């Protein structure tokens, strides 16, 4: 069965303390790996798409990487405004399979 698992469930960081979020996937014939940011009560905001193992993409303090079994979202020197839930999704036939997310809190 296709599955996406994110860890940790929650992460608390001090401002400037870099860390990584993990997304492990078992999706048959993965058709893309997607990262989203979701603020409370709002729809997910698209961040990155990765299609091939070894691929990396960056946006401001965020960098996403992909291997054959997992993806990482690296957060460098986070700020309080980076606090949100980060969702990972694997592309399967005709749909995306979402993980349950990592709730990130960055304290000043």
Are β-strands 102-107 and 10-14 bridged in parallel, bridged antiparallel, or unpaired?
Answer: parallel
> Which residue in 59, 69, 79, 95 binds another protein (CB under 8 A)?
95
Judged by CB under 8 A, the residue of 66, 75, 91, 104 near another protein is 91
Which residue of 7, 55, 76, 96 would you call a contact of another protein, by CB under 8 A? 96
Is 89 exposed, middle or buried (CB count within 10 Å of its CB: 0-12, 13-18, 19+)?
buried
Interaction between residue 87 and another protein (CB under 8 A): yes
The residue among 11 and 92 lying less far from another protein, judged by its C-beta, is: 92
Q: How far is the CB of 29 from another protein (least distance, A)?
A: 8
CB burial class (10 A; 0-12, 13-18, 19+) of residue 83?
Answer: middle
CA distance 79 to 35: 19
Q: Which of 21, 25, 44, 71 binds another protein (CB under 8 A)?
A: 44
């Amino acid at each position: 069965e296709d599955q996406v698992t994110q860890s940790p469930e929650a992460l608390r960081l001090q401002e400037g303390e870099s860390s990584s979020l993990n997304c492990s996937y078992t999706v048959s014939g993965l058709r893309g790996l997607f990262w989203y940011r979701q603020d409370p009560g709002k729809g997910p905001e698209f961040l990155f798409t990765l299609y091939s193992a070894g691929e990396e993409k960056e946006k401001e303090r965020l960098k996403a990487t992909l291997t054959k079994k997992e993806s990482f979202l690296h957060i460098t020197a986070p700020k309080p405004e980076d606090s949100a839930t980060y969702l990972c999704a694997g592309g399967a036939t005709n749909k995306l399979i979402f993980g349950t997310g990592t709730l990130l809190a960055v304290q000043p």
